[in-house]
Structure 1
Amino acid sequence: MNVVFDFGGVLFRWHPPSFLARVWPHRVPDAEAGKAVVAEFFQNYGGDWGAFDQGLIDEDTVVRRIAARTGWPEAEVRAVVDAVPEELQLQRDTLALAEDLKRAGHRLFFLSNMPAPLADHLEQLHPLHQWFEAGVFSSRVKQSKPSAEVFQLAAAQFGVAPETLLLLDDHPANIEAARASAWQAELFTDAGSARLALQARGLLLL
């Protein structure tokens, strides 16, 4: 099987409500209160942040657009954007799962919605080329999940048939889009649950 990992929320920590509670305590007292602020800031990864993910605008532009749209000071918006790299901490239990899949003979790839500065950051900090045969960052192909185009493009770049690809992703919309593009997919909640799902598929030993 060709297993494709999402990054934010799967291989790397990404939990926006608690992230904003940490970075913006004056606006977000706790993770529960952060949910509404997350929706306004990231727009479900559409809008301003979606354009940033797709490499259509740069960091300065996304800061200006979010500030103009929300009325939040640019300096505060920039503080959030500047803090994202620190949020993206490697989830070692997910990496262990990837390593076990590789030892079991499966091929590993990645497909991540990731703005260009963050994609560069992750490549510089981690040996992605050792962990994965290949991967697609949304900002480098100007397409992002859940568009059908990015799934078609990824399958072509990986050089494998869509039906042989299994996506691990934490967003239901991406799971649905992957399946609509003839991929297989499992909704990721944590590494332990993903391991059980992969064992049920016969990809890993019990």
Structure 2
Amino acid sequence: MKIVFDFGGVLFRWHPPSFLARVWPHRAPDEDAGAAIAKDFFQAYTGDWGAFDQGLADADTTATRIAERTGWPRDEIVAVMNAVPQELQLIEGTAALIAELKQAGHTLHFLSNMPVPYAEYLESSHPLDEWFESGVFSGRVKQSKPAQEIFDLARSAFGVDASELLFLDDHPANIEAAQALGWQAWLFTTPETAREELVRRGLLAA
């Protein structure tokens, strides 16, 4: 079994409502306001941000498009975008789970919707090549989850049949897409529940 990790919300912190409440307090004074603003800012990772995720638009273009669409000052949007790397803090429990899986002899990969600048930041800040045998960033393949194309690209890159892949992701739509293509998949909520599931599947010792 090859185990495939999503990044945002799984290995690295990514929670837009609290993120926006921290970095944009004059617009998002609390998480409820942050959640509402996130819908316009990130568009559920479609639209302007989706193009950024897929490497079809660079950061400058994306900031301009968001400003034109929303009326928010462009410099404020740039400040939010520049703050994203620091939001992507390592989730220590997941890092420990990765170490345990590797110690148990499992091969790990990643499949992440991630714009190229943030992918480069993560590569420079963390030993991804030590943790994972290989991985796919959406910004580099010009496709993003939950589209079938990125799952097909990933399966080919990982060099195994879909049924041999167990995918951990925190978005139900991505889990459903993977399962429809024959992957095994499980909805990630916390490192602790993920470990329980891996034990249940016989991939880790209790």
TM-score by length of 1: 0.99
State the percentage of identical aligned residues: 66
Match of 1:132 in 2: 132
Distance 1:5 1:183 in 2: 13
Match of 1:167 in 2: 167
Match of 2:189 in 1: 189
Distance 1:197 1:37 in 2: 34
Deviation digits for residues 64-117 of structure 1 (CA, Å, limit 9, x no counterpart): 000111110001111110000000011111011011111112110000000000
Distance 2:182 2:152 in 1: 9
Deviation digits for residues 119-157 of structure 1 (CA, Å, limit 9, x no counterpart): 111111111000000000001100110001101110101
Distance 1:182 1:102 in 2: 24
Distance 2:47 2:130 in 1: 34
Distance 1:195 1:31 in 2: 28
Residue 63 in 1 paired to residue 63 in 2? yes
* Residue type of the alignment partner of 2:165: L
* Residue type of the alignment partner of 2:24: W
Match of 2:76 in 1: 76
Match of 2:51 in 1: 51
Match of 1:122 in 2: 122
Distance 1:28 1:191 in 2: 28
> Which ranges of structure 1 fall in alignment gaps of 5 or more residues?
none
* Residue type of the alignment partner of 1:55: G
Paired residues for 1:91-110 under 5 Å: 91-110=91-110
Distance 1:87 1:100 in 2: 25
* Residue type of the alignment partner of 1:116: V
Runs (4+) off by over 3 Å: none
Distance 2:19 2:3 in 1: 28
SS of the aligned residue for 1:196 comes to helix
Displacement of 1:175 = 0.3
SS of the aligned residue for 1:186 comes to strand
TM-score by length of 2: 0.99
Moved more, 141-150 or 28-37: 28-37
Displacement of 1:199 = 1.0
Match of 2:142 in 1: 142
Displacement of 1:118 = 0.4
Match of 1:38 in 2: 38
> Which ranges of structure 2 fall in alignment gaps of 5 or more residues?
none
SS of the aligned residue for 1:56 comes to coil
Distance 1:124 1:105 in 2: 25
Query: How many residue pairs end up in the alignment?
Result: 206
